[in-house]
Amino acid sequence: MVLVLFSICLVASAAVAYVNKITTEPIEQAKQQKVVAALKAVLPEFDQTSEATTVDGFEGVYYSATLGGEIVGYAFESTSPNGFNGNVKLMVGFAADGTIVNIEVLEQAETPGLGTNMTVVDNPLLLSFKGKQAASVNMTVKKDGGDVDALTAATISSRAYADAVARAYNAFKSVTTGEINAYTSATQLKQQEGEAKCDGTACGGCTKEEAKECGNGPHGKCGENCKHK
């Protein structure tokens, strides 16, 4: 009995190992092709790209593209963990002068028909960035006071998208200026602001008692919340 089961497992694992061996290379190639295709889509014309490189303060990797030995742009593989359903991974391409050339979605698991519209050609999210000088864009959605047009009924996905672009831009600054800037996402900033204000002391136009009531929640815009209560 044990012997039969053992031999079945043995044969099965040998077969799986064999398939694994013959597919390793095509799988690698398929992944490479995807990266190359994304690079072509997001960068200005180039004849060579660097290997994947890392920079401090940025979790992903980036590629610098050259044309005739001169750097024409950078592409950042940027991931935001704040998607509606996990990570949103983008390839963000910058020209050397900081213009966002194009953005390609590499990975996302957003709601089909809502958040997935971020992969559609010329969607409002992409158009908020495409062709613009990165420094001139406030990279949060309009609902949060930024310049980014969110997708209809997909604000969380849109926030994650903007967050990923902001991360890429932050890394772009680090790469081009040589100064390392730690990245703080808009959500984190908001939280910090909330915590700083709503620690149970008088703040934002509300009394100490009211401030206690609204607590340290992540939406801790103390002034607003307290007025409601």
Does residue number 121 form part of the binding site for other proteins (CB under 8 A)?
no
Of 68, 69, 113, 178, the residue at the interface with other proteins (CB under 8 A) is 113
Shortest Cβ distance from residue 82 to other proteins (Å)?
A: 20
131 φψ region: left (φ > 0), alpha (ψ -120 to 50), beta (else): left
Question: Which among 194, 195, 203 is positioned nearest to 221, based on CA atoms?
Answer: 194
- Which CB sits closer to other proteins, 68 or 112? 112
The residues in 123-182 that bind other proteins, with binding defined as CB under 8 A, are none
- Which CB sits closer to other proteins, 34 or 132? 34
Give dist(CA 46, CA 54) in Å, integer: 20
Q: Of all helices (H) and strands (E), which one includes residue 91?
A: strand 86-95
Give dist(CA 175, CA 160) in Å, integer: 22
Does residue number 13 form part of the binding site for other proteins (CB under 8 A)?
yes
Does residue number 8 form part of the binding site for other proteins (CB under 8 A)?
yes
User: Could you count the other beta carbons within 10 Å of the beta carbon of residue 228?
Assistant: 6
Give the binding range for other proteins (CB under 8 A) out of 19-27, 138-146, 181-189, 195-203. 19-27
Shortest Cβ distance from residue 134 to other proteins (Å)?
A: 28
Overall size of the chain counted in residues: 229
At 106, list the tokens.
């590499």
At 135, list the tokens.
């420094």
Shortest Cβ distance from residue 125 to other proteins (Å)?
A: 17
- Which CB sits closer to other proteins, 24 or 48? 24
Q: Angle between the 186-197 and 155-177 helix axes, to the nearest 10 degrees?
A: 100
Contact residues toward other proteins (CB under 8 A) are 1, 4-5, 8-9, 12-13, 15-16, 19-20, 23, 26-27, 30-31, 34, 107, 109, 111-114
